[in-house]
Structure 1
Amino acid sequence: MSDGFECFKHVGLALDPIHVGTGGARLGRVDLSIVRDPVTKIPKIPGSSLAGVHRAYVAMAEKKYPGCAGQGQPDTSGAGGHCCDPKCPVCTVFGFAKGKDSTTGFTGLAAFSDVHIQLFPVATREGPLWVTSPEQLRIAGLSIPEDANADAVYRKSTSSQPLNLGWLLLPVKALSEHSCIRDELNKLGVPKHILDRFGVVPDRLFSHVVNSNLEVRTSVSINPETGAAEEGALFTYEALPRATLLFWEVTCKNPKHFKIGNKDIEAANNKDKVHSLVKKAYPYLEHLGIGGMGTRGMGRLRVLEPNASSNHSSEIEQSDKDKSQEARH
């Protein structure tokens, strides 16, 4: 942690499938594909999409919508646009372009990283398994398993029976760092029912597992006069499935090091205040969502609260044992 900035880690649970599209139709197995990392081909949500939806929702919460929520340029009459006021919680936290009352722009006090998959749910014959990889753990600053190199599923179970991840059948091996990774995930607020059902696969397999298990839906436009499907209006689109665990960071700058128009920033006086303003978007994310296809049951994202008490794996395991004993009696 620095006096100039502080990074806050966040984990979100997808309550619905999430579709953040590439902006147009493409040739392939689906018409509307989602954004992927250009190198690993693993789906992600760009930081710009996250920042934009946060700005809109914080503007709603602070009753600054729509003026301070959009692109910020006034109309031809000079009305509207960002207020550019050092007292405005939206303009100071998220920044603004050159406006009618400002000679220069301001980058804002909060910076958003891309949103990466932390744990990806996959259907198996033993029920859902949340899969990750060493690189996805490294992005979140978690322990990196050194033995997860062979083509296998590394998890707590030591069963010799192979396990299917969708269409892929892999042997199962014991994960020596399971307890340590489980404890770190618990600190981030990952639900307990997921902590016992996660596995690690090598980086070279993770993108294949994810891309072959995305949710794909088919939609068609309906003619309002006939109530029947429009001819030639059938299209398909993909999305991150429900119950995907996502990770991102928000870097909050210290307001005392910045000025707007030679005036001190009054909307926030420290890094924690900047972060608290960002967090005002969380209830809206859970109910209004992020990305497209919101009218088709997609987009809701619940931001999980970190466990300040950081229960250790041994305590969680003891609680599970107690529940099992109670169930038997």
Structure 2
Amino acid sequence: MCENKNDIIKEFRIYSLATDPIYIGTGGYTIGRVDNTIVREPTTKLPKIPGSSLAGTWRYYVTLEIHKYFTNSDYRIKRENRKDKKDIFVNKAPKWVNNFVDNKYVGIKCAGKDDDSNINFDEAGDRGTGHCGHCIVCKGFGFSKKDKSWQGMIYFGDLNILLFPVFTREGTKWVTTEKSLIEADLLKNKKGDNEVYVVKEETEEGADDFLNLGWLYLSYKKEKKCISLDKVKIDGFRLEVKDIVIVPEKLFSHIVNSNLEVRTSVSIDPITGAAKEGALFTSESIPRGTVLYGKIRIFDKSVFAGISSELSSLPSEKYLESALRDSKHFFETLGIGGMTTRGFGRIKLELTPCEGDDSTQFEDKGEKNDAE
């Protein structure tokens, strides 16, 4: 559940759909069923997309989104003397790009790891390397220079599996747990008008029938639940309540880990054009069609602007929200995680304010919506 206890912290839900298998590796090789394993939650052993991976990728995409609005392509590379030039950004640039004046310092190096963190904050805006420390990317996601560090204003949670697709004799079903549905604010109470499959824990007594979830053959009973899937409308994807299977917590991890996508790959010898001997490896991934859920918080520090010199220019919460919304389309093409050139990584995201939040979804294009 989401709670916003004050006006300076805004919380948003993320519902996402994997349109490709998602591979976020642990690094290195392991001994077991697969060579390249993916990141898992330590307590549940469920695969996830870590908040650090989401934050790092989104930081890069916000930087790319800003760079497409420069009036001169040289500005995408050089920062020198930008402060003395007018009309750095095109007129059609959204307000979060054009109106936040310190975006004039932004460089492509503001995305990713700072490669020149040993210079002072005041020098950073005029140098062509490292984080500038001034733009909406550095202020929103954080930076660290020789004489000053900034925590950032956007806080990313992990994306955890909410609905996991599994092959059954009745077609593809999406497996979840009651706890996951409650956490994602999809299950209001236990009773309702929608019939769903509910897998029984141990006994077959009172079961309606049996259903295979991958290689597992389990008894189930159809029960009516009050499940609302209105929030899980990701682009053209629509999931029906009748396709949901609720399983016990103790089974969920086993079902997910038994039905991950496993691919076997091989390196190609550039001389012969054939498979290279001894270069065979397997990797696992979260399969396409998986629905994930997480949260983002934005700490609107702009309300403290003017208290000190370092807080004199900060982006508002609405500017940061617009930056995230306008740049999330890159996830649908460039993806997240590893092996994106091999058909992995594409994902669709929907960002929605939590109930009780006074934030509203809006398009911040050109003259629309003053977010001052």
Which TM-score band (shorter chain)?
0.7 to 0.9
Aligned equivalents of 2:312 and 2:64: distance in 1?
21
Aligned equivalents of 2:188 and 2:130: distance in 1?
47
Aligned equivalents of 1:243 and 1:218: distance in 2?
20
Secondary structure of the equivalent of 2:230? helix
Secondary structure of the equivalent of 1:67? helix
Aligned equivalents of 2:42 and 2:239: distance in 1?
33
**1:199 paired residue among 228, 245, 252:** 245
Moved over 6 A (4+): 75-78
Aligned equivalents of 1:9 and 1:300: distance in 2?
19
Task: State the aligned residue count.
Answer: 293
User: Is the counterpart of residue 21 in structure 1 residue 67 in structure 2?
Assistant: no
Percent identity, aligned pairs only, is 43
What does residue range 48-63 of structure 1 map to in structure 2 within 5 Å?
A: 48-63=52-67
Secondary structure of the equivalent of 1:11? strand
Structure 1 unmatched runs, 5+: 153-157, 309-329
Aligned equivalents of 1:253 and 1:107: distance in 2?
11
What does residue range 135-174 of structure 1 map to in structure 2 within 5 Å?
A: 135-143=179-187, 150-151=200-201, 160-174=208-222
Secondary structure of the equivalent of 1:218? strand
Q: What is the Cα deviation at residue 75 of structure 1?
A: 7.8
- Cα gap change, 1:21 to 1:258, in 2 (>3 Å): farther
**2:144 paired residue among 68, 91, 97:** 97
Q: What is the Cα deviation at residue 290 of structure 1?
A: 0.3
CA RMSD of aligned residues (A): 2.6
Structure 2 unmatched runs, 5+: 68-105, 120-126, 192-197, 355-372
**Aligned position for 1:244:** 290
User: Is the counterpart of residue 70 in structure 1 residue 95 in structure 2?
Assistant: no
**Aligned position for 1:313:** none
- Output the amino acid matched with 2:59: R
Is the 8 Å Cα contact of residues 199 and 218 (structure 2) preserved in structure 1?
no
Is the 8 Å Cα contact of residues 12 and 247 (structure 1) preserved in structure 2?
yes
**1:213 paired residue among 259, 262, 270:** 259
- Cα gap change, 1:176 to 1:90, in 2 (>3 Å): same
User: Is the counterpart of residue 106 in structure 1 residue 177 in structure 2?
Assistant: no
Q: What is the Cα deviation at residue 306 of structure 1?
A: 5.4
Aligned equivalents of 1:22 and 1:207: distance in 2?
18
Q: What is the Cα deviation at residue 264 of structure 1?
A: 3.6
**Aligned position for 2:39:** 35
**Aligned position for 1:227:** 273
Q: What is the Cα deviation at residue 194 of structure 1?
A: 4.0
Cα deviations by residue, 1:148-188 (Å, 9 ceiling, x for unpaired): 68328xxxxx99231100001111212332xx22x1x3124
Is the 8 Å Cα contact of residues 266 and 276 (structure 2) preserved in structure 1?
yes
Is the 8 Å Cα contact of residues 188 and 306 (structure 1) preserved in structure 2?
no
Aligned equivalents of 1:265 and 1:298: distance in 2?
42
Q: What is the Cα deviation at residue 238 of structure 1?
A: 0.3
Question: Which range moved further: 234-243 or 66-75?
Answer: 66-75
Is the 8 Å Cα contact of residues 188 and 307 (structure 1) preserved in structure 2?
no
Aligned equivalents of 1:264 and 1:75: distance in 2?
20
Secondary structure of the equivalent of 1:16? coil
Q: What is the Cα deviation at residue 295 of structure 1?
A: 1.0
Secondary structure of the equivalent of 2:324? helix
Q: What is the Cα deviation at residue 257 of structure 1?
A: 4.2
Q: What is the Cα deviation at residue 137 of structure 1?
A: 2.2
